[in-house]
Amino acid sequence: MSDLVRKLKCLLVGVAILGRIAVSAQENTPSRAWENKALPPELRADSLIAAMTLDEKITLMHGVDPMPQKAYVGYVPGIPRLGIPSLHLADGRAGVGNDAIDVTLLPAPIAAASSWDPGLLEKFGEVLGREEWIKGTNVALAPSIDVVRVPEWGRTFESYGEDPYLNAQMAAAEIRGIQSAGPIADANMYLTMNQESNRFDQNSVVDDRTLHEIYLPPFAAAVQDGHVGTFMCAYVKTNGKYSCENPDLLITILRGQLKFDGWVMSDWGATHSAIPSAENGLDQEMPGSKYYGDSLKAAVTAGQVTMSVIDNHVRHILVPMFRQGIFDRAPSGSWTASARSPERDAFSREVAEKGTVLLKNAGHLLPLRKQTRVAILGVAGGASPKAEGGGSSGVVAPYKISPFDGIRNYAGKEADVTYSDGSDLKASAEVARAADVAIVFAQTDETEGSDRPNLSLPGNQDALIEAAAAVNRNTIVVLDTGGPVLMPWIDQVAGVVEAWYPGQEDGNAIAAILYGDFNPSAKLPLTFPRTATAIPTASPQQWPGVNGESAYSEQLDVGYRWYDATNTEPLFPFGFGLSYTVFELSHLVLTPATVHSQTGPARTQVMVKVDVRNTGDRDGAEVVQVYVEQPAQNGEPPRQLRAFARVPLRAGEKRTVSLGLDPHSFSIYDSSSQQWISPTGEYTVRVGTSSRDLPLSGKVGVKQ
């Protein structure tokens, strides 16, 4: 568009808006233009700001701690004089948090991400958003969208895994879902929140290119495809500056590059100052007013912070509130309302089924037959199901179906199902020996606030698995973990299933998988390493860090990128997952085969077409994955995920799938010019069903 046309367009829009204000001024109270629903959010915000006193502006810029009522986790009182509604903030990664009752416990987000199905994530967001809204929440603190850098990270279960592109797709989808159901979504935690060790002070030392290529894409997608209303700035520092007063992150990148126009609230207690925070981009302090109450007011009164800085912060808060209809709709519900429904219970089970990854199935032991005599071992199998992770994502489950109950219900009352909690290895081995199949449920306790000390299963669980496998060659391990674990017993067991933290429907979902009622289709969203040291962040300088600093020295080689770059064999690769049927990929076509080099925001340029056939005798779904290898001189990791699609196929069915490659497929981030560029050269596009199984390939040339 030429400059002249653009200017003319702006002029016309301006005239139209003024006309609408004039009409509204005649019809309504002229001074309360912000109440006019026909006006754009930006204009409504400006008219409201013009009517606000400094005290009222400051009221919006922080929470109230302690809160007047025992509900939610954050509260910003409304201002009745101006018709500004209160904000009620509640956590919600796997359901409404903060001790809310009568809500649905969904599977952990890492399970949802394992579906590789953005449609499922959108529904996940919708279900969560709906229940938050019923509970009276109008700002849902969800989702958590940081890329997993350290496999021991205590919040891995809250995430979507180790790949920026997969994360970006899932983040945008979940945010759209949440916001379609009422609340404003608050995507967290911005940025480089990649470990819990020393989380309130840790300094992530990371280069600019890595920041843009690995850690920012989910946040960029949250803005551009998710239209997220707010971000939560993280506890940690990035390159020496606290996230909530870091001008590089909050002003240069978030406002300048990503064009975010919503608000940034601090994580709980992550605000460290009044003036530097106000000057460097923090819009709202949470949960209280340590800095953004009297101190901020005094700074404004003393002329240390200008009113236009304050107005900008308030505008950032008001614009998404207007856009999301928080001013115009009836208020959301109440904390004491019941948010449950049979549909949402069923959805929790659907996510658990679609998120459970079948990792090993020797001799097609699975699916089981109903008459098989089954021994269930481990506390997570019976006495104490491991359905969720800990910390602020905790949910009061309305019920939890244990695997023992789920399996017994599925197989029928007459079925021979025995149980041993695993505390006495000898006794458990006897129970395992007496059955046709022994299923050991193993778990990790992951939580916000601490990283796992290492990647081994805690306690005697490895010994329990080995004891069962020693007496029963048909031993299957079901993992209820939030992230990868080491499997020293892998060659001794016949099967391994990663069920993650599966939510309230735990036992029903695992029974459906084990007996083949649901054909597993999930894929790992992160790599499982073979040994404790064969991981991208093995040195103490990288994790947990030395002298308060974590060196991101692996740079772009995060997750599978590192395994590929160093030729390290993983135990199970990123993107891997088995099915009870067999799929075949063929006929890869790339169009066009040549594209032009470009700078600036990239566009989709290449379409990938491929045939997928279910050659087995069961219905199922395959995830087609497309990875791009850049020319060596670009200095990128060997290959990177750039498109995927989950394709359901009936037995014998064939479909042709078309996927558009991510705009960044042929780009690198050039730090010196601060933009994406696409160097010329030959790029290889590989298509398959995991990062290590890519049978089809083609070339795309990038020319001047």
Looking at the annotation, which residues are catalytic?
267
Q: Which is nearer to ligand BGC, 392 or 605 (CB)?
A: 392
Q: CA 574 → CA 133, 171, 205, 381, 481, distances in Å? A: 35, 18, 25, 27, 16
Q: Which is nearer to ligand BGC, 393 or 630 (CB)?
A: 393
Cβ-contact 496, 514 below 8 angstroms: no
Smallest gap from residue 318 Cβ to ligand BGC (A): 22
Query: For the packed helices 506-514 and 403-411, what is the interaxial angle rounded to 10 degrees?
Result: 50
Task: Give the pairing of strands 607-614 and 74-76.
Answer: unpaired
- Asked whether the bond before 592 is cis by omega within 30 degrees of 0, the reply is yes
CA 138/CA 90 separation, integer angstroms: 8
555 backbone φψ class: left, alpha, beta (φ>0; ψ -120 to 50): left
Q: Which is nearer to ligand BGC, 141 or 522 (CB)?
A: 141
Q: Which is nearer to ligand BGC, 141 or 376 (CB)?
A: 141
Report the candidate in 127, 260, 118, 226 with the shortest Cα–Cα distance to residue 182: 127
CA 230/CA 141 separation, integer angstroms: 9
Smallest gap from residue 482 Cβ to ligand BGC (A): 15
Handedness of CA 254, 256, 258, 264 (dihedral sign): positive
Smallest gap from residue 151 Cβ to ligand BGC (A): 20
Smallest gap from residue 137 Cβ to ligand BGC (A): 12
The DSSP line for 363-425 is GG-PSPPTTS-EEEESGGGTTS-----BSTT----S----HHHHHHHHH-TTS-EEEE-SSSH
Q: Which is nearer to ligand BGC, 89 or 602 (CB)?
A: 89
Q: Which is nearer to ligand BGC, 159 or 392 (CB)?
A: 392
Return the residue nearest ligand BGC (CB atom). 392
Strand segments (E) across 226-325: 230-233, 237-238, 241-242, 263-266
Smallest gap from residue 636 Cβ to ligand BGC (A): 32
Smallest gap from residue 91 Cβ to ligand BGC (A): 5
* Angle ∠(367,370,375) on CA atoms, nearest 5: 85
Cβ-contact 592, 606 below 8 angstroms: yes
Helix then strand then coil, % of the chain, to nearest 5: 35, 20, 45
Structure tokens at 229: 């209303």
Smallest gap from residue 638 Cβ to ligand BGC (A): 34
Place of tokens 């919708």: 126
Helix (H, G, I), strand (E, B) or coil at 594: strand
Q: Which is nearer to ligand BGC, 446 or 622 (CB)?
A: 446
CA 403/CA 505 separation, integer angstroms: 9
Report the candidate in 526, 401, 533, 375 with the shortest Cα–Cα distance to residue 464: 375
Q: Which is nearer to ligand BGC, 247 or 390 (CB)?
A: 390
Burial class (CB in 10 A: 0-12, 13-18, 19+), 69: exposed
Q: CA 442 → CA 339, 376, 393, 481, 629, distances in Å? A: 31, 11, 21, 8, 37
Report the candidate in 608, 643, 604, 652 with the shortest Cα–Cα distance to residue 623: 643
Q: Which is nearer to ligand BGC, 232 or 628 (CB)?
A: 232
Smallest gap from residue 544 Cβ to ligand BGC (A): 17
| Contact positions vs ligand BGC (CB under 6 A) | 73, 91, 141, 188, 267-268, 392, 448
Smallest gap from residue 197 Cβ to ligand BGC (A): 14
Please state, as a whole number, how many other Cβ atoms lie within 10 Å of the Cβ of residue 124: 32
Smallest gap from residue 582 Cβ to ligand BGC (A): 41
Strand segments (E) across 640-679: 640-649, 654-660, 668-670, 675-677
Cβ-contact 278, 241 below 8 angstroms: no
Residues facing 79 on adjacent strands: 84
Place of tokens 């940034």: 264
Smallest gap from residue 101 Cβ to ligand BGC (A): 17
- Asked whether the bond before 276 is cis by omega within 30 degrees of 0, the reply is no
Q: Which is nearer to ligand BGC, 74 or 688 (CB)?
A: 74
